[in-house]
Amino acid sequence: MNDALRLLQDRQFDVVVSDMAMPGLTGLDLLQRVKELSPECEVILLTGEGTVETAVQAMKLGAYDFLSKPFSLAELETLIQKAYERRRLSQENRQLKAVLERSQPKVPMIGESLAMQDVFKLIAKAGPSDKAILVQGESGTGKELVARALHEHSSRAGRPLISINCTALTETLLESELFGHEKGAFTGAIAAKPGLFELADGGTLFIDEIGEMPGVMQAKLLRVLQDGSMRRVGSLQERRVNVRVITATNRDLAAEVAAHRFREDLYYRINVMSLDLPPLRIRSGDIPLLVNHFLGTVWQIAPDALRVLETYNWPGNIRQLINVIERAKILADDHFITTDELPAVVLSPVVATSTTGSASSIVPLLPVDDGTLSAIEKARVVDVMQKQKGNKSRAAQVLGVSRRSLYRLLEKYGLDGVSPAAETLNSPT
């Protein structure tokens, strides 16, 4: 075990195969160490009786997969092959977090309201301009989608679009992500790594939640925006990059500048042009279109339920609308959504809304409290998970939600442990 750790420190491995129960460190400990030392290394754990539960936890900690004993050598071989393949792929486009948009399916932007037509016009004009653009809007209004659209409308469209979110990244991490580092620049920097500016060279870098960027980093960002030069952490070598920067924030950046929390000079650099996204409540005419889009071809919604959605004021904007629809799909029967499946906050909002449609249309509806709805939701999830023998892909399909939504639900209701064994056999990655 100690030998393994020593080797891991000195060399890069593609795949690690480890037993779950060993003298000294457990398989989970080893997994965590491997992921610290070399996040891209894939780990396969071998589990015996009584360790399957732990294996589920291992999956959450980033294990590639686990294999329950007894297994054949051929099974192990196939699994190693698959793990190696994934490792090779993730190596190919090194930083997966920084999404290369070319490989992503295009998400259509829905909206016919005047406000959205203005947005589309701006995208068509500002996209090709190659200028730095600041996208502003409340949470869930589609800022990231707009950033992609801007990139796709530019001459850089064939080049990478790389994105980074400033929230939850410490200053050091943010700096090394953006500018890269040399080997040994700090503890844990076991190999040199190019920064996102280098990876985005010739393309676009989307910096999300720029309002969260620490002051020191603001200065460094300003520098690369001014003269296109940067240095990796721990390096003296100047590198030149040609990157278009698009930023987004849901804060009032002008106010942040006034309060001296955001550098004024940087504000002008990133805000050559700004694009403000309208909140959903001021364009409720788009709601039926959006609802239909998110329902897909199979699902339908009752007219009064649609009216409720149209009159709600959507503090969480489109993201919240998507969540409400996904949740309703779980609860509804026969691919038909009624008011019964809408959450209480939407049915009887605390603050009266003053958009289109009369508020009175909401009043006669029987408000279902969130507790009851949650109980129904939980029961339905348990039922489907059991019927599908714990296979999450199939359960998600039956429920009509994404795998990610299903994981959230399982976590919310403490159902993570439902038939893990069945999941293993089929778990696609």
Where along the sequence are the contacts to ligand ATP (CB under 6 A)?
Answer: 107, 109-111, 137, 139-145, 250, 318-319, 322
Give the bridge partners for 15, in sequence order.
42
Which of Mg ion, ligand ATP, none does residue 361 bind to, with CB < 5 to 8 Å depending on kind?
none
| Least distance CB 398 / Mg ion (angstroms) | 30
Q: Binding to Mg ion by residue 212, rule CB under 5 A? A: no
Spatial CB neighbours of 332, under 8 Å, sequence gap ≥ 6: 299, 338, 341
| Least distance CB 103 / ligand ATP (angstroms) | 16
CA distances for 398 relative to 302, 333, 363, 389, 394, angstroms: 21, 11, 33, 12, 6
Structure tokens at 54: 């732990």
d(CA 229, CA 221) in angstroms, rounded, equals: 10
Which of Mg ion, ligand ATP, none does residue 110 bind to, with CB < 5 to 8 Å depending on kind?
ligand ATP
Question: Which of 177, 286 has the CB closer to ligand ATP?
Answer: 286
| Least distance CB 307 / ligand ATP (angstroms) | 21
Residue 168, burial from CB neighbour count under 10 angstroms (0-12, 13-18, 19+): exposed
Question: Which of 76, 110 has the CB closer to ligand ATP?
Answer: 110
Which of ligand ATP, Mg ion, none does residue 224 bind to, with CB < 5 to 8 Å depending on kind?
none
d(CA 343, CA 354) in angstroms, rounded, equals: 20
Question: Which of 55, 213 has the CB closer to ligand ATP?
Answer: 213
Which residues ranging from 115 to 154 are in contact with Mg ion (CB under 5 A)? 144
Which of Mg ion, ligand ATP, none does residue 247 bind to, with CB < 5 to 8 Å depending on kind?
none
| Least distance CB 345 / ligand ATP (angstroms) | 18
Question: Which of 144, 416 has the CB closer to Mg ion?
Answer: 144
Q: What angle do CA 25, 30, 35 make, to 5 degrees?
A: 155
Beta strand pairing status for 273-276 and 229-230? unpaired
Any idea what DSSP says for residue 105? P
User: Identity (one letter) of the amino acid at 216?
Assistant: V
Structure tokens at 319: 């993201």
| Least distance CB 114 / ligand ATP (angstroms) | 14
320-365-337-116 Cα dihedral, nearest 10 degrees: -40
Which residue is at the shortest CB distance from Mg ion? 144
| Least distance CB 125 / ligand ATP (angstroms) | 18
Contact 223, 230 (CB under 8 A): yes
Which of ligand ATP, Mg ion, none does residue 111 bind to, with CB < 5 to 8 Å depending on kind?
ligand ATP
Question: Which of 118, 264 has the CB closer to ligand ATP?
Answer: 118
Contact 429, 64 (CB under 8 A): yes
Question: Which of 123, 224 has the CB closer to ligand ATP?
Answer: 123
Residues that bind Mg ion (CB under 5 A): 144
